[in-house]
Amino acid sequence: MSAKSNKNCFEPEVVLLYCQHCVGDGAEIAVQSQQACGFSVRPMMMPCSSKIEVPYILRILEQGADAVELVACPDGGCRFLVGSLRAEKRIDYIRKLLTQINFGAERVGISRGPGLSGEELLALAADRAEAVRNLGANPMKKGEHR
């Protein structure tokens, strides 16, 4: 099987980190019960996107996730005033690190939105999965070698 066809069959694992204040009522339940087609999603609700730290996201990748999508509040909509701005700066920093080591900046991303539904969260995870599909599996997965 060629490398190209391997990548077409690749089903990315996306960790979806989302702020509890940017989702609508019941969204976390809807996301957890959804079956994704062509990728797997592991949703994790957080108290605020500003609580995410660089080492935490890197650890998620190190443990084998193919991608991480952080969902934050819209500009000016964070209850902690600048929480989503801090999160954006941290994601930008991680993307630069991933570019430097040739792992692909597309492995991490940030989206913003108020009152998102479970379906909208799943769509954001699907977008991240599609962004990494051409990169193939995360080289940090156990048993994978660069």
Q: Locate 92 and state its tokens.
A: 């930008």
- In the chain, where the domains are located: 11-133
pLDDT given for residue 3 in this prediction = 44
Rounded to whole angstroms, how far apart are CA atoms 66 and 60? 9
Structure tokens at 66: 């193919």
User: Please, what CATH class does the domain formed by 11-133 belong to?
Assistant: alpha beta
For position 118, what pLDDT does the model report? 84
Regions in the chain scoring below 70 on pLDDT:
1-8, 26-36, 76-82, 142-146
Q: For position 66, what pLDDT does the model report? A: 96
Residue 112 tokens read as 């913003």
**Tokens 């694992």 identify what position?**
13
